[in-house]
Amino acid sequence: MDSAGSTTTDETKVKIACIQMQPAIGEVEANVAHSIELINRAAALGAKLVVLPELCNSGYVFKSREEAFAASEPVPAGPTVKAWSEIAAKHRLHLVAGICERDGAKLFNSAVLIGPDGYIGTFRKVHLWNEENLYFEPGDLGFPVFHTAIGRIGIAICYDGWFPETYRLAALQGADIVCVPTNWVPIPGQAKGREAMANILAMAAAHSNSIYIACADRVGTERGQPFEGQSLIVNYTGWPVAGPASRDREELLLAEVALGEARRARNWNAFNQVLRDRRSDLYDEMLGSHIKRGWY
């Protein structure tokens, strides 16, 4: 509030970068080195929140669980998180990146959040897609929202975005933004040349929850599987503020936003507020009634 009691509008803005890249299957050291090159490029352009694709350190299309296990590492003690922590500290930025995580004998398709002072937390993909079920355990950490110096950050991975609960539970916990490391693939019924269905879902989720969504996809074809590209950053209104990127090239998307505006703008008019208007008396058990409210 200013001295007159009115709300100020000069809220600190954060420059977000979504890095669209092409990792190589099993080439962990080279993939991480390449990601650091791209993070350096984003930092040079002023990015303070950087999002990398799903499983960007390991590649995606594993032939066996043994191959996936060989490309995995513990979090946060492994070399990938250490390397990413060093670059985040160097540039004083926050980083969300997909990683093949090993926890004892279990493997998880995970994403880490790292800040200027090091590792902050982990999200484990909740909804596994296709043959991921052969290699990974379903995520067991729920949908945490991490409070950071730049804003409240939620995370989802790829197929999690097909479930409205993913974004709604993040919003109910006060998230300003959900970062989405992803490996989108063509889906049945998709006409040639149409935008990725994931783009449409991200735009709808951002609008219906009043949150920013930043999606970093990969490109290329890996063992016969093509990927969609089309990374994008979506405003809390549901409209893209950067992207969609191309389908087939490595790219860097940038958008400068005031993250806190996502929560302020949830009051659409004198009568309607998108989270407050939920009829939780009718569908309370379906949509996370145990989540603490009052942050939106």
Q: Active-site positions?
A: 54, 125, 158
CA angle 17, 22, 26 (to 5 degrees): 125
Distance, in Å, from the CA atom of 276 to the CA atom of 150, rounded to the nearest integer, reads: 25
Distance, in Å, from the CA atom of 96 to the CA atom of 221, rounded to the nearest integer, reads: 23
Distance, in Å, from the CA atom of 88 to the CA atom of 95, rounded to the nearest integer, reads: 7
Strand 221-222 and strand 225-226: pairing? antiparallel
Q: Who's near 292: CB < 8 A, 6+ residues apart?
A: 173
